[in-house]
Chain A
Amino acid sequence: MRFTKDHEWVEMEGDIATVGITAYAAEQLGDVVFVELPAPGASLKAGAEMAVVESVKAASDVYAPLSGEVTLANADLSDNPQSVNDAPENGGWLVKIKIADPAEVEALMDRDAYEAHLRSL
C-alpha cells in the first residue's frame, strides 16, 4: 500500500489502483455522512480534486493520487458512508483507477514514510 501526504492510500493490482482515505484522515474527519464520487469513465489527473467526503463537521476534498481513468466507484458508500470510518483502508475504498503512468506509483510514500509524515504533523 502506498500513501500521499494528503492522506490518500493506493493499493495496486496490475494497472488498477484502488484508492481510499487513510485511517488517520477518517479519524480526523469524524462520522462520515456522505461521499461524492466521480463517475466511472471520468479521467483524473494526479493532484486534482477527485471526490468529496462529508462528515458531520466538515466537507473535505479528496485528491487523485494518480492520473488515469475511473473504472469503478464504491456504490456501497451511498447507503453506508460510515464504511469510511469503520474500514477506511478496506471496505471504505472510494474508487478504482486504471492508471496512466506507473512511475507515479513509485513516487508515492510507503507506510514507513507516511507514518513518519504523520509524526511530523
Chain B
Amino acid sequence: MRYLPLTAADRTDMLGMIGAASIETLFADVPAAARLEGLIDLPRQASEAAVERRLSALAGRNRAAGAGPFFLGAGAYRHHVPASVDHLIQRSEFLTSYTPYQPEIAQGTLQVLFEFQTQVATLLGLPVANASMYDGSTACAEAVMMAARVTKRRKAVLSGGVHPHYAASTHTLAHAAGVKTQRLVAAIDDEAAVIGAIDAETACVVVQTPNVFGTVTDVSAIAQAAHAAGALLIVVTTEAVSLGLLKSPGDMGADIAVAEGQSIGNALNFGGPYVGLFACREALARQMPGRLCGETLDAEGRRGFVLTLSTREQHIRRDKATSNICTNSGLCALAFSIHMSLLGGEGLRTLARINHARAQATRDALAAVPGVEMLTSRFFNEFAVRLPRPAAPVVEALARRDVLAGVPVSRLDPGAGLDDVLLVCATETTLPGDIDALASALAEELRPT
C-alpha cells in the first residue's frame, strides 16, 4: 500500500465538509500546553550511517532489565520467556493473520483463541473467558461497565489496593459511559474496606489480590457482602503467575475476574503491548465485552471453531454493543498460550513456588537492613517496605550503583502520602547475587553519615 499524503486542496475540502475554517480552529479545544508549536528541533537531514550511530548511542543509555539486579514489578513483571515462544509466534501464519472473521480460512487462529480462553477460564476459576482485552487495566474498566449493564446501577467502588493506573483507566473509560468510580484511600491490607462503601446504587466492588502493595487476600467474605447488596464482585490480578498458587477468583466468589497476562509468555515490552485476561460467570456471558471464540461442528460433523455471540459486538450491534473494543491482543495472547502449554499445570505451580521463594529471600535480606520496615505480611512475589526517607531519591541513588531497587509508590500515586514506601518484586529471574547486591547497596545508602 502506498502512502499518499493529503494535498492542500484535500485538506480544504475536508475542512469545508465539516465546517471548520482551518486546522487551527479544528484543534481549538486542545490545551495550548499539550500542543506542539512549530517543528521539532531536529537536524534537517543526516546520512543513514550518522543517524544509526546517533540513535545507537542514545539506545546505549538504556539499562536493560536483564543487565543486572532488577526488583521492579507493580503491574509489569520480568519473567523468563523461553526462546521457543518467540520462535513460534513469529511463524507468518500467526504473525501476519488478521482478525478471524472467516472461519473457513482461520481455523488455526481460532483454535489458538479457543485454547487461550480455556486456559484463562481455568486460571481465573470462571466458566467463560473472552479472547483477550488490550491489557489488565482496560479489562478492569470493561468489567466495571459490564457490571453496570448487568445490575442497571451506576457506581463502582474500588479498594485502596487496586493499582492506581487501573483505577485511573477505569475512571477514564467508565465516566464517559455514565458510571461513577469511587476509589478508597490507599491501604496496604484492607480490601474489605469496600464493604462499608456499598450502597443501593453500587453496581460492583473492585478488589485486587495480590494488591498493588503485594498483599494476598481471601475475598470470599467480600463476595458475600457484595451479593447480599445486589452488587457484583470484580477481582483484579496484575501478576498472573500468582494464580499458579493462590485460590482462583472464581473459587472465592468473583462474578467477573480480570488480570494482566503479560507475566506469562510476554516480555516487559516497555509497558505494552500487553494482554488483558477476562472471565465471568456463565449467566453474564451475553454482557461480556470483546471477542469470543466457540467450538462447533461443521456441515460434515467435524470439530471446528468460530467466533460466537458476535451480536454483542459493534460491527453488528453498533451503538448498543457491549464494548467499543472488539479487537483483542492476538499475538500476546498467543505467546501466553504457548508459554502456558510449555509450563503445564505442574510447571506453572513450580514457577509460582520459585517466585514466592525468591521474594521471601529478598524480604529476609531487606528485613536485616537497619531502618527498613516490612509492611506486607501476606505476599506472593512482591511486597512493600517503608524506608526512613522518601523512596524515589533512594531508588535513583541505587540505580547509579546499577541496582534497580523497586517502584516508589510516589511514582504510581503521588497524592497517597506514601512517599517513603517502596514496592519490591522478585521473580524466578532474581538470582541470589541480585538479592545480596540490593541489600548491601540499600544498607550503604541508608547508613547515617
| Residues of B in contact, count (CB < 8 Å) | 6
The chain B residue with its CB closest to the CB of A57 is B316
The verdict on B320 contacting chain A, using a C-beta distance below 8 Å, is yes
Q: Which residues of B contact A58 (CB under 8 A)?
A: 311, 316
CA distance A45 to B320 in the complex (A): 20
CA distance A34 to B320 in the complex (A): 16
The verdict on A61 contacting chain B, using a C-beta distance below 8 Å, is yes
* Chain A 70-106 near chain B by CB (<8 Å), digits 1 or 0: 0000000000000000000000000000000000000
CA distance A57 to B317 in the complex (A): 10
The verdict on A36 contacting chain B, using a C-beta distance below 8 Å, is yes
Q: Which residues of B contact A57 (CB under 8 A)?
A: 311, 316
What distance in Å separates the Cβ of A51 from its nearest Cβ neighbour in chain B?
13
- Chain A at the B interface: SS class: strand
Contact of A34 among B286, B316, B317 (CB under 8 A): B286
Q: Which residues of B contact A48 (CB under 8 A)?
A: none
CA distance A34 to B311 in the complex (A): 10
The chain A residue with its CB closest to the CB of B287 is A36
Taking CB atoms and an 8 Å cut-off, the chain A residues in 45-63 that contact chain B are 54-55, 57-59, 61
* Chain B 281-300 near chain A by CB (<8 Å), digits 1 or 0: 00000100000000000000
Taking CB atoms and an 8 Å cut-off, the chain A residues in 14-29 that contact chain B are none
Q: Which residues of A contact B317 (CB under 8 A)?
A: 59
The chain B residue with its CB closest to the CB of A53 is B311
CA distance A112 to B317 in the complex (A): 32
Once A34-B286, A36-B286 are accepted as A-B contacts, the answer to whether A61 and B320 lie under 8 Å apart by CB is: yes
The chain B residue with its CB closest to the CB of A59 is B311
What distance in Å separates the Cβ of A17 from its nearest Cβ neighbour in chain B?
24
Q: Which residues of A contact B286 (CB under 8 A)?
A: 34, 36
- A34, A54, A58, A59 interface centre (most CB from chain B within 10 Å): A59
* Chain B 320-332 near chain A by CB (<8 Å), digits 1 or 0: 1000000000000
Sorted nearest first, the 8 A-B pairs with minimum C-beta distance are A59-B311, A54-B311, A59-B317, A58-B316, A59-B316, A58-B311, A34-B286, A59-B320
Q: Mark B residues whose CB is within 8 Å of A.
A: 286, 311-312, 316-317, 320
Residue contacts A-B, CB under 8 angstroms, 7 given: A34-B311, A36-B286, A55-B311, A57-B311, A58-B316, A59-B320, A61-B320
